[in-house]
A = this chain, B = another copy of it.
Amino acid sequence: MDAETSSTVRNVLFIMADQLRWDYLSCNGHPHLETPNIDALAARGVNFSKAFVQGPVCGASRMSTYTGRYVSSHGSFWNFVPLSIGVKTLGDHVRPHGVRCAVVGKTHVEADVEGAARVGLDISEGPGLLAMEGGFEPFARDDGTWPPGFKVQGNQYCDWLRSLGYESDNPWHDYANSARGANGEILSGWHLRWAEHPAAIREEHSETPYTTDRAIDFMREAGDQPWVLHLSYIKPHWPYVAPAPYNDMYNKEQIVPPVRSAAELQDQHPVLRGFRSYLPSQSFSRDEVREKVVPVYMGLIKQLDDQLGKLFAYLRESGRDQDTLIVFTSDHGDYLGDHWLGEKELFHDTAVHVPMLVVDPREQADATRGTVVDALVEAIDLAPTFLDALGLPAAPQWLEGRSLMPWLHGKPPGQWRQYVVSENSYAFRDDVRLPLNRPVDGCQMTMLRTEDWKYVHYEGLPPQLFDLRQDPQELEDLGRSDGHAAVREQLQGLLFDWFRNRKRLTTMAPQDIEAWNARELEVGINIGLW
């Protein structure tokens, strides 16, 4: 190369929003919600328009993203299921190469305390502590979400709020996620009816600005040491409460109507029937709820966008925008009443399709800036992408995703995946499980989605099938349609292939296997010689 102007990627800023739908960004087509700072990432990088998470709940999805492995392969099937000490994380991949790997915000990693005790691991410090944190140095970890009345101790954010005068056992709940009534009473954010009221906190003290400021603190502190920073916002995840002015920025005229049909409630799949009887689905199926809550959900996203504007300004001022790969994504969507459902947990695109914007500052990526790539992408592709950008080895026995760098550099791979997979279990949802009389280890749900079809396998129950070409809104379930048996069989065959080919042999590298035979003969072990 004649010019050494091309910069190097030394850092990765890995931004995740929680429960942010794919379509609630202006760059992804929302008609009323303007997100110019996030859109700027799409303009400066590549917008992967068909990106899917590997699980439609926080914990399972995040463990996949943090390990580069499908849910079946890391075993942390749902929220609060410990991440086994036997699983290698993103931090484990980068740290030996002198790259810090830290988190500001939420990870939802549950420590495998039992596994650690089994092998006698010291988890109070060093690598043992990191293993309990999913491989992230807990620079300012904060998973939020405490019940009312819970005495929050040892939490940086709550301690900071108290230092500012927000006196409470649980200032997260009582101030940041609640409003005040006419008589000063707490209107809990756990109750959707209070959503439109402003949080009882100054905007700059609410969670999203706090999280942003801590990220800037990290980057300032890090200096010249390379890093991967997982900047992980809890919002727009519930409680759906926003500080002024974001609580009142949008109105019911600006919300998009729910995607649902009366026909969906006829002859329902038994698991969907269960989830529809679950409280969030009941609530979000009511227009009154949507009209109060969705504008606040939009306000929380708007606040996030404004904060990202502040963050990106810092990156430009510090020059970090020139040597930092930036990713913006989400851990899953939010039904918000689509398909007569609330929350997430199932496999409509509403829940599993996420935004994924990637900015590579290097000139090799100039040609693709502002483009949209519609290849099927999975959240497990991020870890290999980070390693590729940093020039670090990506152990193939661990990583089940693929680097997106060829797409960013305008050199699409000749072969790319034909389907994405997402997994969940309703074992933890008594509302769903008990009426179906299923054992907790018989509640697995597995989605396989091609460009044209979506197939969802349920253990012991009929499958679901959607024709995404004819029915992109996924309103007609063809899982029991007589005319689609051949399609279902074909997709089931792909799922069988997928299950068989998971990377279960992780403790030996492929190159070591390849070298095995030569070594065995070399040392003189020559079985069967006459």
Which A residues have a C-beta under 8 Å from some C-beta of B? 72-73, 75-77, 80-88, 92, 110, 112, 114-116, 118-122, 126-128, 130-131, 145, 147-150, 190-193, 238, 278-284, 286, 289, 342-343, 396-397, 425, 427-431, 439-442, 444, 446, 457, 459, 492, 495-496, 499-501, 503-508, 510, 513-514, 516-518, 523-530
How long is the Cα–Cα vector from A517 to B131 in the complex, in angstroms?
Answer: 27
Question: Among A122, A283, A440, which residue has the most Cβ atoms of chain B within 10 A?
Answer: A440
Within the complex, the shortest CB–CB distance from A91 to chain B, in Å, comes to 10
Q: Are B115 and A507 in contact (CB under 8 A)?
A: yes
Q: Are A88 and B118 in contact (CB under 8 A)?
A: yes
- A selection of 10 A-B contacts at a CB cut-off of 8 Å is A75-B504, A76-B505, A82-B508, A83-B507, A86-B112, A88-B118, A149-B524, A190-B524, A440-B513, A442-B501
A73, closest chain B residue (CB): B504
Q: Are B505 and A81 in contact (CB under 8 A)?
A: yes
How long is the Cα–Cα vector from A190 to B75 in the complex, in angstroms?
Answer: 43
A128 CB contacts on chain B under 8 angstroms: 119-121
A499, closest chain B residue (CB): B499
How long is the Cα–Cα vector from A122 to B283 in the complex, in angstroms?
Answer: 52
A425, closest chain B residue (CB): B505
Question: Among A77, A80, A492, A516, which residue has the most Cβ atoms of chain B within 10 A?
Answer: A516
Q: Are B527 and A343 in contact (CB under 8 A)?
A: yes
Q: Are B85 and A119 in contact (CB under 8 A)?
A: yes
How long is the Cα–Cα vector from A120 to B132 in the complex, in angstroms?
Answer: 12
Q: Are A279 and B499 in contact (CB under 8 A)?
A: no
Contact status of A114 and B429, CB under 8 A, knowing A145-B525, A500-B499, A524-B190: no
Q: Are B118 and A528 in contact (CB under 8 A)?
A: no
How long is the Cα–Cα vector from A530 to B190 in the complex, in angstroms?
Answer: 8
- Counting every copy of the chain, the complex holds 2
**Partner of A281 from B429, B441, B526, B528 at Cβ < 8 Å:** B528
Q: Are A238 and B283 in contact (CB under 8 A)?
A: no
**Partner of A127 from B82, B120, B342, B444 at Cβ < 8 Å:** B120
A113, closest chain B residue (CB): B507
A495 CB contacts on chain B under 8 angstroms: 496
Within the complex, the shortest CB–CB distance from A234 to chain B, in Å, comes to 14
Q: Are B529 and A440 in contact (CB under 8 A)?
A: no
Within the complex, the shortest CB–CB distance from A188 to chain B, in Å, comes to 9
Question: Among A127, A145, A278, which residue has the most Cβ atoms of chain B within 10 A?
Answer: A127
**Partner of A82 from B87, B130, B507 at Cβ < 8 Å:** B507
Q: Are A524 and B279 in contact (CB under 8 A)?
A: no
A135, closest chain B residue (CB): B118
A192 CB contacts on chain B under 8 angstroms: 528-530
Contact status of A120 and B118, CB under 8 A, knowing A84-B86, A503-B441: no
A75 CB contacts on chain B under 8 angstroms: 504-507
A126 CB contacts on chain B under 8 angstroms: 120
Contact status of A190 and B120, CB under 8 A, knowing A114-B507, A507-B82, A517-B430: no
Contact status of A507 and B76, CB under 8 A, knowing A149-B524, A280-B528, A528-B343: yes
Q: Are A279 and B86 in contact (CB under 8 A)?
A: no
A517, closest chain B residue (CB): B430
Within the complex, the shortest CB–CB distance from A378 to chain B, in Å, comes to 18
A279 CB contacts on chain B under 8 angstroms: 526-529
A508 CB contacts on chain B under 8 angstroms: 80-82
How long is the Cα–Cα vector from A292 to B506 in the complex, in angstroms?
Answer: 41
**Further 14 A-B residue pairs, CB within 8 A, beyond A191-B529, A289-B530, A492-B496:** A84-B507, A85-B86, A110-B507, A112-B507, A120-B122, A122-B122, A150-B524, A280-B528, A282-B528, A343-B528, A396-B441, A425-B505, A439-B510, A459-B500
How long is the Cα–Cα vector from A193 to B530 in the complex, in angstroms?
Answer: 5
How long is the Cα–Cα vector from A127 to B115 in the complex, in angstroms?
Answer: 11
Within the complex, the shortest CB–CB distance from A315 to chain B, in Å, comes to 31
Q: Are B524 and A147 in contact (CB under 8 A)?
A: yes
